[in-house]
Amino acid sequence: MNRSIHLLAAAAIALASCIGAQAATITVNNVTDTVADDGVCTLREAIIAANTNTASGASSGECVNGTSGFDFIEFGLLLVPVTIQIDGNPLPDVTEPLVITGPGRAALSISGNGTAGILASSAELIISGLALEEAGGSGNAAIRMNTPADLTLSDCEIRDTTAQNGGGAIVFQGDAGGTTLTIDDCRFVNNQMTNAAGGTLSVSATSGPALVDITNSEFIDNAGGNGAAIFLFLPGIADPGEIIGLSVVDTTFSGNVSSGSGGAIHSASSNHAIRIRRSTFENNEAAGSGGAAFLSESDVQITNSTFHGNAAGDDAGALWMVNALPNTATIASSTITGNTANGNGGSGRGGGIAGQAQDILLRNTIIAENIAPDGTGPDCADQPVSDGYNLIGAVNDCTFGAITGDQTGNLASPLSPVLGPIADNGGPTRTRLPLASSPALDFGNPGGCLRADGVALVTDQRGETREADGDEIGGPRCDIGAAEVVPIPTFELSVSTTPGGSVQSNPAGIDCPGDCSEEYEDGTLVELTPSAEPGFTFNEFTGDCTGSGTCQITMDQARSVQASFADNRELLLVEVFGEGRVTSTPSGIDCPGTCSAPFVPGTVVSLSPQAETGFAFLAWGGDCSGDAGCQVTMDASRLVEAVFSNDAIVVNSNADTVADDGECTLREAINSARFNAPSGSSANECSAGSPSPAEDVITFTADVTGSILVTGRFQTVSEPLAIHGPGRDVLALDATNSPDGVFATSAPLSFHGLTVRNAVTTGNDNTFQVGAPAIFSECRFADNSSDGAGALFVLGDVTIDRCVFERNTASEAAGGGAIFGNNPNLSILISRSRFSQNEATSGSGGALRLSGSGTVVDIVDSTFDGNSADAGGGGVSVSGSDLLVTNSTFSGNESGSFGGGLVVNAGATLSIASSTIAGNSARAGGGLSSGIPAADASLRNTILAGNTDSDNGVEPDCSGNFTTGGHNIVGIPGSFCSGFVDTVDGDQVGDSGNPINPLLGPLADNGGPTPTRALLPGSPAIEAGNPAGCADALGVPLTQDQRGQPRPAPSGTPCDVGAFEDFADLIFLDGFE
């Protein structure tokens, strides 16, 4: 019988749905409260149409007629929220079953204006999606049910009513026997009943059972006589416990005030069942007994509920229960705390519970910290019976038979449950959670907690799992009371940092490097704060948190954050020539060994030389000069050279003479080195060189600066020689007056820190002819011209490092605007150097031409820009040799034939890696050409795009056959360029209709020793390199880009395609910003 009564409301709705096809839907389209044939349908007219089954008028827009049985009233109001004002009289009584559906309780309200009731019905009524407000007057509740008739409410609110007789919000008038009141998701706020019981709901019956079924609702700040929220009076029945009179689930009663008994609920329903589950009674008041509820002669079961802060003017601050057998009362897994029984004259009993019940069974329940002024029974009075595992603050004034698992205190030593404040702890109602030291934790029944009806409890009041053992105190047992402490999931936050800074967290736990991971509870907001070391700045967070400031991250899953710091320190690079050592103060330099070190900007670094046995310190070079102490201020990256010699020849004059005149000129020094004799007998003449194989060293005094006007080629270097100049921007060899060039060598040469300029030679003469292994470092060759090889004619192995070749010209067919070589089996290494605006006016190789079989040319970290050749290879032309190119840039070069940037042919082998070839032009193969006879040419991780050709645009970026090493960007390969297929091996390949734009910046100083073309935001080259790591032309893993920036960037993503790695604000390992 109980189950069938609970299903009445559902059955009514289902019935309405079933007959919907025959029922009428009447649409209210006007908010006035009129009855007239005026082309609108008001709510009053709609109810009349439903009752009488007639239309409200003949005009278009009037209410349609209802039908026999259920009808539906809906609202077609265009503007919401809106209020319908009832004009003086209640709406017509509903006489046939009716469903009224509004757009939502926040969108539509119906007001009685404080003087009228709103709805009345003698037939079944179903209402949803609206609010009723300001009903008032004698007997004028918001809803009056003329029993017997069922009422169903959902998504509703009834507020601010001021009725004078029974039920300020809802009243069942007359005998409610056999009726059902169903309420779901409704709010009852500030309803007043001044002369009778039931400030909100009043249900009375004499002839049979009735059901009030309430779920997921709120009763807030209502007032009245007995039961400010609910007054229930039902007749005695023969079979108690089977008929439910009141069911309350997931509902809140707060701030209700009764002038009688039962601050929220008053029930005088003999032998009916009252079921309260997962509900909260908070801060309700009664002038009589039962601050929260007064329950008389009923079978009561209360489970997973909270009673807190309620007050009674008499006994029982929370619950007053009067039972006579066979009725029983059971309270299970509930929390009753902070309630007060004031008692008339201070004699109140049972601050928590009291009554004249013969059998009140307590199980797994907290009753503590309640107040009763008489000082005898603060928590309970009369006859509660324990079913075990309760927590009673003070059992005084209770006939309490404690059994297994009970924890009790007394007035002298009350037991605190140690609970948190009542709060929203999840779930539909407020609760009090046990704190970490609570004796309620894990001390419920080890056999499992039970509901009031003896069925095993699965969840607590909030819906959290029982027996969760989230506190690890008493094992897997449920907690005592309404709320179960459940394990809060934790998630790991891991942080990584690049060198130069640390990251700390709030809450504490992360202090990385050092402690770089921490577990945080689900939902914890963690703030990460970066701290940069001196000389570094914080760059950005990446991963699960981004940005350049503090990072806030919510721990709802495992999180990983990377912090990168930019190295703003300036790099000091020391080079030692000869046998000696250089150390620094502050420490950092100890060279040989550690020859580069970063320093905080502005640091003054002192360098000290120590010569090895048999050697002497001669002079500083670079950013220090002379032979005294060296101090450098690190306001920029610095290069300092230290020269040690056991027999150095020191040039002390800018002249180019040979005479015994007390000076040592460069020409005399070279002669002294060659002939192993002093330049004269006068003081300050050049000292004698040393016989081969010893290497002679030529240095310069600090006052030799500017230029030396060379009057003819120097003597051929026929013994090992090192010429160590003070710096290419300090001293130049000006060959304007030297038609036969400057140098020729037949023995090893080291040429450092000088500029050679303005040489103009013809025929077999060259600016600088290298006939033996030579090393060129920190040098410049500018504005020189020869028939072939504008600057260097290479016949031996050559290493070129940090040099600049600019505006040199080769005027004959041999080509090689800067460098030419055709000997076989040479080794040519070019690193960190720039070739700019060199020209081969009649031949190939605007900057560089090499054609010897077996020769290996290795170009690293270098830039070729603005060079031009009449024939192939605006930048570089190689025939029959092996050409390796890594981390280099070719831009703005031009060829009148094939290969604006580079051309290889005649069986040459080409391997290009991590380079950028863009903005070049040629007749064919604007960027790169693998010519005829075919060359073996391969590219990996290289940009070949944005080049142009003049051959009808069919070969703008490349011509010839190529092998891909993967992860290249080729803008338009054209008709005669093969080997690249879009998406194969990671290549990105466009065509003439859809060329790929690599989004490059102009050639500029982007840091490092040579200019580069930066990747702009959105470039397809960013992080498109080989995920396994980028490699050089020989397949060796790369750790830096052309500028010296880490490759890949510290974020750990794949490297970028091309010569430039997109990671801002670093100081690079070679010391250049």
Cα–Cα distance between 608 and 617 in angstroms, integer? 10
Q: Nearest to residue 848, comparing CAs of 877, 826, 813, 868?
A: 877
The pLDDT of residue 13 is 43
Confidence of residue 541 (pLDDT cuts 50, 70, 90): very high
- Please give the span between the terminal C-alpha atoms of the chain, in angstroms, as a whole number: 87
User: Is the pLDDT reported for residue 306 higher than 60?
Assistant: yes
| Domain-embedded: residue 808 | no
User: Is the pLDDT reported for residue 797 higher than 50?
Assistant: yes
CA atoms within 13 A on the CB side of 731: 27
Would you give the DSSP letter of residue 545? S
Q: What is the pLDDT of residues 231-249, one digit of tens each?
A: 988 776 655 555 778 999 9
Q: What is the pLDDT of residues 720-749, one digit of tens each?
A: 999 989 889 999 999 998 888 899 999 999
The pLDDT of residue 14 is 47
Count CB neighbours of 91 within 10 A.
22
**Do 218 and 324 share a domain, yes or no?**
yes
Who wins on pLDDT, 637 or 824?
824
Show which of 132, 163, 194 is a domain's final residue: 163
The pLDDT of residue 342 is 87
Q: Average the pLDDT over 604-611 and give the result.
A: 87
The pLDDT of residue 196 is 65
Who wins on pLDDT, 916 or 812?
916
How distant is the alpha carbon of residue 940 from its chain centre? 33
Who wins on pLDDT, 328 or 510?
510
Would you give the DSSP letter of residue 459? B
Show which of 467, 498, 527 is a domain's final residue: 467
**Do 935 and 883 share a domain, yes or no?**
yes
The pLDDT of residue 1071 is 39
Return the top range by mean pLDDT from 464-478, 650-664, 942-956: 650-664
**Do 460 and 527 share a domain, yes or no?**
no
The pLDDT of residue 72 is 97
User: Is the pLDDT reported for residue 615 higher than 80?
Assistant: no
The pLDDT of residue 402 is 63
**Do 169 and 155 share a domain, yes or no?**
no
Q: Average the pLDDT over 317-331 and give the result.
A: 82
Cα–Cα distance between 185 and 164 in angstroms, integer? 26
DSSP for 929-998 reads EE-SS--EEEEES-EE-S-EESSTTSSSSEEEE-EE-S--EES---TTEES--TTGGG-EE--SSSPPP-
Contact 728, 755 (CB under 8 A): yes
Q: What is the CATH number of the domain that holds 534?
A: 3.10.20
Show which of 567, 584, 610 is a domain's final residue: 567
Q: Which pair of structure tokens corresponds to residue 854?
A: 């077996």
Q: What is the pLDDT of residues 2-29, one digit of tens each?
A: 333 333 334 444 444 444 446 899 999 9
The pLDDT of residue 566 is 85
Which contacts qualify for 1015-1022: CB closer than 8 Å, 24 or more apart? Answer: 1015/1056, 1015/1058, 1015/1060, 1015/1062, 1019/1056, 1019/1062, 1020/969, 1020/988, 1020/996, 1020/1057, 1021/943, 1021/969, 1021/1056, 1021/1057, 1021/1058, 1021/1062, 1022/1056, 1022/1062
Q: Average the pLDDT over 451-460 and give the result.
A: 91
Confidence of residue 766 (pLDDT cuts 50, 70, 90): confident
| Domain-embedded: residue 143 | yes
The pLDDT of residue 475 is 62
Instruction: Please report which residue ranges of 595-725 form alpha helices under DSSP H.
Output: 666-675
| Domain-embedded: residue 827 | no
| Domain-embedded: residue 733 | no
The pLDDT of residue 1044 is 86
**Do 73 and 151 share a domain, yes or no?**
yes
**Do 157 and 54 share a domain, yes or no?**
yes
Who wins on pLDDT, 691 or 164?
691
**Do 203 and 339 share a domain, yes or no?**
yes
| Domain-embedded: residue 739 | no
Q: Average the pLDDT over 1008-1032 and give the result.
A: 93
**Do 497 and 609 share a domain, yes or no?**
no
The pLDDT of residue 694 is 81
Mean pLDDT of the chain: 88
Would you give the DSSP letter of residue 130? E
User: Is the pLDDT reported for residue 471 higher than 60?
Assistant: no
| Domain-embedded: residue 779 | no
Count CB neighbours of 508 within 10 A.
10
Outline where DSSP puts E strands in 262-332. 265-269, 273-277, 280-282, 285-286, 293-296, 299-303, 306-308, 311-312, 319-322, 329-332
Range of the domain at 634: 570-645
Q: What is the pLDDT of residues 979-1002, one digit of tens each?
A: 999 999 999 999 989 999 999 999
| Domain-embedded: residue 687 | no
> How many domains in the chain?
5
pTM of the predicted structure, to 2 decimals: 0.56
Question: Please, which residues have CB within 8 angstroms of residue 424's CB and are 6 or more apart in sequence?
Answer: 430
**Do 897 and 1024 share a domain, yes or no?**
yes
Confidence of residue 434 (pLDDT cuts 50, 70, 90): very high
Q: Average the pLDDT over 409-421 and give the result.
A: 94
Confidence of residue 292 (pLDDT cuts 50, 70, 90): very high
How far lies 289's CA from each of 160, 320, 329, 381, in Å? 26, 6, 17, 13
The pLDDT of residue 1029 is 87
Cα–Cα distance between 268 and 233 in angstroms, integer? 5
**Do 906 and 891 share a domain, yes or no?**
yes
Q: What is the CATH number of the domain that holds 627?
A: 2.60.40
Q: Average the pLDDT over 920-932 and give the result.
A: 89
| Domain-embedded: residue 633 | yes
**Do 173 and 115 share a domain, yes or no?**
no
How far lies 160's CA from each of 10, 138, 193, 463, in Å? 29, 15, 11, 32
Who wins on pLDDT, 189 or 726?
189
Q: What is the pLDDT of residues 99-147, one digit of tens each?
A: 999 999 999 999 998 888 899 999 999 999 999 999 887 667 899 888 7
1050: left (phi over 0), alpha (psi -120 to 50) or beta: alpha
Contact 277, 248 (CB under 8 A): yes
Who wins on pLDDT, 467 or 124?
124
pLDDT above 90 coverage of the chain, percent: 63
Cis preceding-peptide flag for 1002 (omega within 30 of 0): no
Confidence of residue 662 (pLDDT cuts 50, 70, 90): very high
Confidence of residue 188 (pLDDT cuts 50, 70, 90): very high
Cα–Cα distance between 118 and 144 in angstroms, integer? 8
The pLDDT of residue 704 is 94
Question: Please, which residues have CB within 8 angstroms of residue 354's CB and are 6 or more apart in sequence?
Answer: 289, 315, 316, 319, 320, 341, 377, 380, 381, 382
**Do 318 and 444 share a domain, yes or no?**
yes
